[in-house]
Structure 1
Amino acid sequence: MKIRRKVEIAVISDVHLGTYGCHAKQLLTYLNSIDPKKLILNGDIVDIWQFKKRYFPKSHLSVIKKIMDFAANGTEVIYITGNHDEMLRKFTDTEIGNISIVNKLVLELDGKRAWFFHGDVFDISIQNAKWLAKLGGWGYDFLILVNQFTNWFSDKMGKERYSLSKKIKNSVKGAVKYINDFEQVATDLAIENGYDYVICGHIHQPKMLIKKNKHGKTTYLNSGDWVENFTALEYQFKRWKIYNYNEDKLSAFYADEDIKDMELKDLIAAITIVEQPTSKKKKKSKDKD
């Protein structure tokens, strides 16, 4: 018997479905361990930028099905658009059942105001030189592939695994400055607009800290990613916490059995075909007649 943790809000971002760097199986393990009232997808869930490479394995489809199952079972699913899934921005404010698509979100949580957005609006390289940002995305994905090979070799040699891309990013002073600037801009705007929490994604750096300036203070939260850090944010009992898959995994929750045993064609059908219960009712009434 599977026991799922009840969570008021779960926030995930930067999953990058459709890329080699995405760790969909670990994300499925996490999603199958929780029962959220709200699931907030804070951008870059599907990597539409790099969708042309035609890489979308079964585990990636299973993540989409799991999210749709949440919605079908009463969870409110809010998809906040990011830069890698910016094509969805043309559908902003669209609602389909329990699923809605927005560019940003404001919630009141136990008397406090929370401001959710992906964060790419602060990235000048994406706003003013999109082609360069896309080129950087492809190079980053290549780096992920190199990293996977080095980790495979490390496993064979009995050595510790490590993230090559993360190591490179963290060693560059410019990257550290960018992260600090990102956090400063986000928190200054949140304080200026009276938000108690500001919740972002985009920079793949999970974090929770209190930031102050002369006008007040706010709590900055970043959900991290499912490429390198395997992290999410959870809100329960009037407090936030960062969930870390590598440290907080309590039980071996894998994909639901009905998803796990599905063939690829059946999985695609489950995502794209919705049963119409009303037609069954009509059929019964005809039988009675």
Structure 2
Amino acid sequence: MSQDTNEAAVRRFRTLFISDVHLGSKSAKADHLIDFLRYHEAETIVLIGDIVDGWRLKRSWYWPQDANDVVQKLLRKARKGTRIIYIPGNHDEFLRDFPGIHFGGIEVKTNTIHQAADGKRYLVLHGDEFDVVVRHARFLAYLGDWAYDAALGINIVLNVLRRRIGMPYWSFSAWAKHRVKQAVNFIGEFQKVVAEEARRHEVDGVICGHIHHAAIEDMDGITYINSGDWVESCTAIGETLDGEMTLLTWRVLRAETTPTTTPPLLAPPVAQVKLREVEAA
């Protein structure tokens, strides 16, 4: 933690769930994640896949200093006693060959069962296992990845212009994705299939990433939680000390605010919900 960080402003959680950072992509908001980690502490941090974007790094190498800074920040937290679990996704699938291995205090797992402070159990996985395109049509997955890159490129140009005229960040790619019927249908089907996998494991809920769509929803008695991403929405899931799951959004760099302001936690009220108790069947 830097000397400039206001200790009173740091929020402490039992667990933080972070996914889809895509380090190695020019669209990764690594600076926002570093800022987020500076003002959020947790006993355990679970990285739910696509932290490193191996697909893009294979096409062309791009590894700026802030990508190094994210890695170093996580390693420092591990050295100071934070338990860090890394569940690889499809973009960093090369790490799936090392389950059970520790890298600098970071433990690699294929998936895990997380027991919250309130006793509820959650299946934690990246989620690409339930994406038919990724599993059975890799060429189409790469093509979709290229189109997504193009939309993120529009985001960058658009938001440079918005910042110059004093307007806040806005995601063109997220706007487009949520208005394309096929994308909306895909998100809905993905949620149903992942919730069914949680039911098969006889747990209370599932925590995943992959589709870059943050959510906390009840799916017929299964709590579906998606941690979102750090290329568009800059979201994470925080488990409080009493087991409450909360959606966190970090849109504005702390460095851009005055020292007297509170950290820019900008999730809308509807997103910061306390999960209601699911009645036993």
- Structure 1 length as normaliser, TM-score? 0.81
Q: How does 1:83-232 map to 2 (within 5 A)?
A: 83-96=90-103, 98-110=105-117, 111-157=119-165, 161-212=169-220, 217-232=221-236
- Asked whether the equivalents of residues 224 and 231 of structure 1 are also in contact (C-alpha less than 8 Å), the reply is yes
Which amino acid is 1:238 matched to? Answer: G
Distance 1:155 1:98, change over 3 A: closer
Structure 1 gap segments, 5+ residues each: 254-289
Which amino acid is 1:5 matched to? Answer: R
Partner of 1:15: 21
Distance 1:164 1:66, change over 3 A: same
Q: 2: distance between equivalents of 1:167 and 1:141? A: 15
The SS at the match of 2:251 is helix
Number of corresponding residues: 249
- Structure 2 length as normaliser, TM-score? 0.83
The SS at the match of 2:212 is coil
Structure 1's consecutive aligned runs of 4 or more residues displaced over 6 angstroms after TM superposition are none
Which amino acid is 1:229 matched to? Answer: S
- Asked whether the equivalents of residues 20 and 141 of structure 1 are also in contact (C-alpha less than 8 Å), the reply is no
Tell me which protein shows more helix as a share of its residues.
Answer: 1
Structure 2 gap segments, 5+ residues each: 255-261, 266-281
- Asked whether the equivalents of residues 152 and 173 of structure 2 are also in contact (C-alpha less than 8 Å), the reply is yes
Partner of 1:242: 247
Of residues 153-162 and 49-58 in structure 1, the stretch that sits farther from structure 2 once superposed is 153-162
The SS at the match of 1:171 is coil
Which amino acid is 2:176 matched to? Answer: I
Which amino acid is 1:131 matched to? Answer: F
Deviation of 1:247 (Å)? 8.4
- Structure of greater Rg: 1
Coordinate RMSD, CA, aligned: 2.0
Tell me which protein shows more strand as a share of its residues.
Answer: 1
- Asked whether the equivalents of residues 253 and 264 of structure 2 are also in contact (C-alpha less than 8 Å), the reply is no
Partner of 2:36: 30
Which amino acid is 2:98 matched to? Answer: F
Distance 1:73 1:116, change over 3 A: same
The SS at the match of 1:246 is coil
